[in-house]
Amino acid sequence: MTSQDDRRSAATRNNVDWCAAVCRTHGILGTHTDLAWTSTRRTPPYYPDAITLHPDATAADLLDKIDTATPGCSVKDSFAELDLASDGFVELFTAQWIHRPADLPAPTAPGVRAEPVRTADALRRWQAAWGESDLFRPALLADRDILILAVTDGESAIGGAVLNRGGGVVGISNLFASNNSAIDAVWSGVLGAAHRRFSGLAVVGYTHGGELAAALAAGFVTAGPLRVWLREP
């Protein structure tokens, strides 16, 4: 059985892979070290300018490698170890890394299907349902380690999510449901797709609030806290 530290490290590495993939489609190439992933250019909305990869990472390891002058600069402190308040940041939110063992069967929800988004038009519709536009570029659809999923219940669209393989696990991110009553069905559909496409891999991610309760109900366990910091204007 893996330790909590191992689960969190795998989730962190996986999240860096996903964030870096999104940034590359926007022409942004980040830098990896043993301590952190950083980008000297402002990253797309919702994506941090720095992500710590080790609990020993310090503010000094990050802040001179990112653009703190342009509004919107953010740091994902994967181990909730940093205090960036004195550097002009405010805490945006805290969350929990989550982990689901590879050998745990996917939950089932009758009639629910999670199908890959395969075309640029379908991706535009998916993003509109999620509530954004032009954040995810069509180049992501060609990456075999990434699966953008549209979840349906019969003929009705009820949500979606993104899966990405990396760090020896498969990550779930950007999960959304059309309404609160559909969230459990969306988790079921997405986990079923993860088991079919990426068989044998544990599933990881991070979440908080009501979404955390839904993830725990779907068989995840927590793997430690993270914190996201936002630079004040």
**Whole-number mean pLDDT of the chain?**
95
Q: What is the pTM of this model?
A: 0.95
Range 59-77 average pLDDT: 95
Query: Which pLDDT band holds residue 62 (cuts at 50, 70, 90)?
Result: very high
In the chain, the N- to C-terminal Cα span, in Å, equals 44
Query: Which pLDDT band holds residue 200 (cuts at 50, 70, 90)?
Result: very high
What is the predicted pLDDT for the residue at 1? 53
Complete edge-to-edge strand list for the sheet that includes strand 50-52: 31-32, 36-38, 50-52, 74-77, 221-231, 89-100, 203-207, 169-177, 156-166, 146-153, 112-116
